[in-house]
Amino acid sequence: MNSPFISNRLAAAHDGTAAEVLHLANAQLVLPEQVMTGQIVIADGKIDRIQEGDDVPVGAVDCQGDYVMPGLVELHTDNLERHIEPRPEVDWPHLPALLAHDAELASTGITTVFDALRVGSIHNANTGYGPYARKLADELLETRAAGHFKISHFLHLRAEICSETLLEEMATFGPEDRVGIVSLMDHTPGQRQFRDLTALRTYVMKKRGLNDIEFAEHVANLKTLQARFGDKHQAGAVAEARRYGAVLASHDDTTADQVNASAANGVGFAEFPTTREAAAACRSHGIAVMMGAPNLVRGGSHSGNVAARELADAGMLNIISSDYVPAALLLSAFQLADLWGNLSAAISCVSRNPAKAAGLTDRGSLAIGQRGDVIRVSRVGNTPLLRGVWSQGNRVA
């Protein structure tokens, strides 16, 4: 799935206007293979020069020994949905929500984001939800075209296999929409993320206010939908991803058999495998493993799945996603650096590795010719302190 077509199509879609010249000096440059004291020059939106040494030329910004590293690349975040629906059944105006989401991500060091939008709806009085992705995607793309965003935005369609209208909704998208990622999501109760129905019960009953009878009806309805549409929807979503030219991702793989099926479908990376068994199977297939930053920061999964730290210790963690806490991405990278004793490798998990997994070849590392997306970071104890964010050399936070 990760074809040259994908790389060229996405990399050619630049956002905003490039700054003329940005010169950061006396910095700890986090390069792909080492950390080096030096300076970096960004001209016309791209990295033009990297030089070793602690001198500060006239006109350069003295970073006073702070880290300078590539801007963070986020592949899967539900943050936009939180802005358009800040509370259940509360619809927020979309343009202000888009701009607030964009500004929040910039403020956490994220300079490229694949905004995750659900496709696939369920028509049910108590727990149903309707389509929204096409309309919101149009608004997002219009906002981007108008130059209102601070950072670079792409689309990530979360294909809900256990739904009624998945293929109808996916049919409304095409290659022109810059759909960079399609993830296969199967939230049928009793498997994957929701093997333990207790966790699902807590989540759904708290969010939707269901009683025990309504929850039981909800579980039965989802299992019926999976039995009726599951195979058709999965095959159709894989075909649609190919039509878009998008990278395909799996979600919540639990068993080696599920990973084998993901590999057969052409999955490029695995979002949040729930067991060590699944992560090991991903490694054997050459599928990159992505885990959630909140899992790493908290020291474990909130739903009882495998801990990100366990996979990191075993060398089976390639990509980190902020998931539902944008500020967790940078924090988790520094925690991973402390765990591994290797800052370059840890930062690659939030920059170079996700960029590569998504087919982006023009960003993700401090290297000549790459996009001038960089961040400046110091540390207060064990906490990273973000001191500057630039997108194509423009200060955005």
25 assigned to some structural domain: no
The pLDDT assigned to 203 comes to 61
Does 212 map to a domain?
yes
Query: How confident is the model at residue 246, as a pLDDT?
Result: 98
- List the structure tokens of 62: 């003295």
In a domain, 221, yes or no: yes
CB 118 within 8 A of CB 80: no
**Number of continuous H segments (helices) and E segments (strands) in the chain:** 14, 16
Domain assignment present for 154: yes
pLDDT tens string 343-360: 999 999 999 999 999 999
Spatial neighbors of 305 by CB under 8 A, at least 6 apart, are 193, 272, 274, 275, 295
| Residue 155 domain boundaries | 71-364
Nearest to 150 by CA among 71, 75, 43, 48: 71
Q: Please, what is the angle between helix 94-107 and helix 133-145, to 10°? A: 70
Query: Is residue 92, in this structure, part of any structural domain at all?
Result: yes
Is the pLDDT at 225 greater than 90? The verdict is no
253 SS3 class:
coil
Hey, what amino acid is at 261?
A
246 occurs within a structural domain: yes
Q: How far apart are CA 270 and CA 301, in angstroms?
A: 16
Nearest to 305 by CA among 342, 263, 267, 276: 276
Number of structural domains in the chain: 1
Q: Is residue 130 part of a domain?
A: yes
- Separation CA 98–CA 308 (nearest Å): 30
Instruction: State if pTM tops 0.95.
Output: no
Give 92-140 pLDDT, tens digit per residue: 999 999 999 999 999 999 999 999 999 998 877 555 678 999 999 999 9
How many other C-beta atoms can be found within 10 angstroms of the C-beta atom of residue 53? 12
Interatomic CA distance for residues 141 and 139, integer angstroms: 6
In this structure, what CATH number is given to the domain that contains residue 82? 3.20.20.140
Q: Is 309 within 8 Å of 296 (Cβ atoms)?
A: yes
Classify the phi-psi angles of 304: left when phi > 0, otherwise alpha if psi is within -120 to 50, otherwise beta.
left
**Residue 371 is assigned to a structural domain of this protein:** no
State the average pLDDT for the chain. Answer: 90
**85-99 burial: b if 16+ Cβ within 10 Å, else e:** eeeeeeeeebeebbe
Residue 172 bridge partners (DSSP) = none
pLDDT of residue 126: 58
